[in-house]
Chains A and B, each alone.
Chain A
């Protein structure tokens, strides 16, 4: 039982790191980024490619930095121009980007599944109760917790974090106070895409790499963001944990309908609270 909960936390943690990037992006640019799953996939492949040369940890660093740079470029070329256009266009353009990323990976690495080895340092298992649990999985949970705590501390105790929170609810007023919200947005979008890269590279040893790996997790990360309350960091955290559990429970006990469960949960939450878990006022 405790093993099931831990596995749920591993998936939920991964989902959180990915989803929180979506939240950041939506907050600053009001863009719903369908390419986010593609960034998750690119992060995994970038880490895999770099790890051939520089080892697993080199791959992690490379992936995060590369995705941050890509995010800054995307902000300039795609997200900023999209922030004031019809939402349908945003969906089409970012979905198109997802396809471009998938095609790119398909061309460079092919469609075959690639598995990434857990780094030697974390390859062991640890006894929990009377079963053995992989150390690497515990590390994934720890990384997710570190990201959550770090992000929350940054948002609430730093000046830049205050600007980010202010700008995601009223960017004009924030700019009127003297904040360069354009520069802030580039940084925040880069942070969001870097986190997508991080989640991809961290997830790589747990799931096989394939060009389509981004599409399936994208749906669940959207469910996390919507269930949590669009734009809410705390909501996304809670929703990711819950959906990680639901996902894992489904895979183990109800394999036939497992992919439906998170969706049903979202519908349930939205009926109970139309603005999502974290949004109490309108």
Chain B
């Protein structure tokens, strides 16, 4: 069953058309990457799934079901948890409260506060401080923990490595590998090839709002991925 499927999707902000006939699919248990330079429409893919960008044509399906009207909360309730670009930790809420917010879809599964704290021990230490008072890397962990609290079928990450120091990216990568080993389905939007190579099995390349290339990561070295994918 595909957890997320876009079929010939056209999407726009008002009159500004951004996505043109994008088709992509993430199956259960898969780890898929979306590559592409700044401004090609990667975040707009996410925004289309939450109704921030308008779906002008084509079809969006969550968990095998066509979505007729997309509302901001639809994706989360259908088992798609988003770690948004820029993290979007809610100001004024503690780390713990940000996590509780993530459990809003009220789905059952292995993830709860304790499990998130075990994955990211720093969050336990900082549980009662304001989420926005933490460092960028810690906030990214919180954003991922918050998404996991929904017990999602698919975890969508939009440039999680953006603005983080290389050591922090490595740490984050290790956590994502652990999630991957546990069978978590992941859609990873990234410009960091190392991270993509570590996590994903399949990739799409986006350029000017269209999918220009796709392929399997199997047997592809990091160097040949970089060379192969002309982004």
Chain A residues within CB distance 8 Å of chain B = 159, 162-163, 165-166, 169-170, 172-182
Bound-state CA distance A172–B43 (Å) is 15
Contacts of B146 in A (CB 8 A): 177
Contact of A174 among B71, B101, B106 (CB under 8 A): B101
Q: Hey, which chain B residues are within 8 Å of A173, CB to CB? A: 84, 88, 90
- Could you pull out 27 A-B pairs where Cβ atoms are within 8 angstroms? A159-B100, A162-B100, A162-B101, A163-B101, A165-B92, A165-B93, A169-B91, A170-B88, A170-B90, A170-B91, A172-B50, A174-B90, A174-B101, A175-B50, A175-B71, A176-B73, A176-B82, A176-B84, A177-B76, A177-B102, A177-B104, A177-B150, A178-B104, A178-B106, A179-B101, A179-B104, A180-B73
CB distance from A261 to the nearest CB of B (A): 32
Residue among A159, A162, A176 making CB contact with B72, cutoff 8 Å:
A176
Contacts of A182 in B (CB 8 A): 71
**Complex: chain A residue closest to B104, CB-CB:** A178
The interface residues of chain A, by DSSP majority, are classed as helix
The complex places the Cα of A182 from the Cα of B51 at a distance, in Å, of: 14
B77 contacts partner chain A, Cβ-Cβ < 8 Å: yes
Q: How many residues of B contact A (CB 8 A)?
A: 24
Q: Whole-angstrom distance from the CB of B48 to the nearest CB of chain A?
A: 13
Determine if B84 and A178 form an interchain contact, defined as CB atoms under 8 angstroms apart.
Answer: no
- Return chain A residues, CB-CB under 8 Å to B91: 169-170
Looking at chain B's contact residues, is the secondary structure mostly helix, strand, loop, or mixed? loop
Which A residues are CB-close (under 8 A) to B93? 162, 165-166
A175 and B88 contact, Cβ closer than 8 Å, known pairs A159-B100, A166-B93: no
Q: B162 to chain A: which residues have CB within 8 Å?
A: none
Contact in complex: A176, B76 (CB < 8 Å): yes
Residues of chain B from 65 to 122 with CB closer than 8 A to chain A in the complex: 71-73, 75-77, 82, 84, 88, 90-93, 97, 100-102, 104-106
Is residue B52 within 8 Å, beta carbon to beta carbon, of the partner chain?
yes
Report B-chain residues with C-beta under 8 Å of the C-beta of A177. Answer: 73, 76, 101-102, 104-105, 146, 150
Q: Are B90 and A178 in contact (CB under 8 A)?
A: no
Residue in chain B with minimal CB distance to A183: B73
Chain B residues 143-196 with CB under 8 Å of chain A are 146, 150
- B105/A178 in contact, CB under 8 A: yes
Assuming A178-B150, A180-B71, what are 16 further A-B pairs, CB within 8 angstroms? A166-B97, A166-B101, A170-B90, A172-B50, A172-B52, A173-B90, A174-B101, A175-B73, A176-B75, A176-B82, A176-B84, A177-B101, A178-B76, A179-B73, A179-B101, A182-B71
What 5 A-B pairs have minimum CB-CB distances, sorted nearest first?
Answer: A178-B76, A175-B72, A178-B105, A178-B104, A173-B88
Q: For A179, what are the chain B residues with a Cβ–Cβ distance below 8 Å? A: 73, 101, 104
Using Cβ atoms and an 8 Å threshold, which residues of chain A touch B106? Answer: 178
> Is there contact, CB below 8 Å, between A181 and B100?
no
Min C-beta distance of B121 to chain A, whole Å: 23
- A231 → chain B closest CB, angstroms: 10
Name, among A162, A174, A176, A180, the residue most crowded by chain B CB atoms within 10 Å (CB to CB): A176
Residues of B within 8 A of A172 (CB): 50, 52, 72
Interface centre among B75, B77, B92 (most CB of A within 10 A): B92
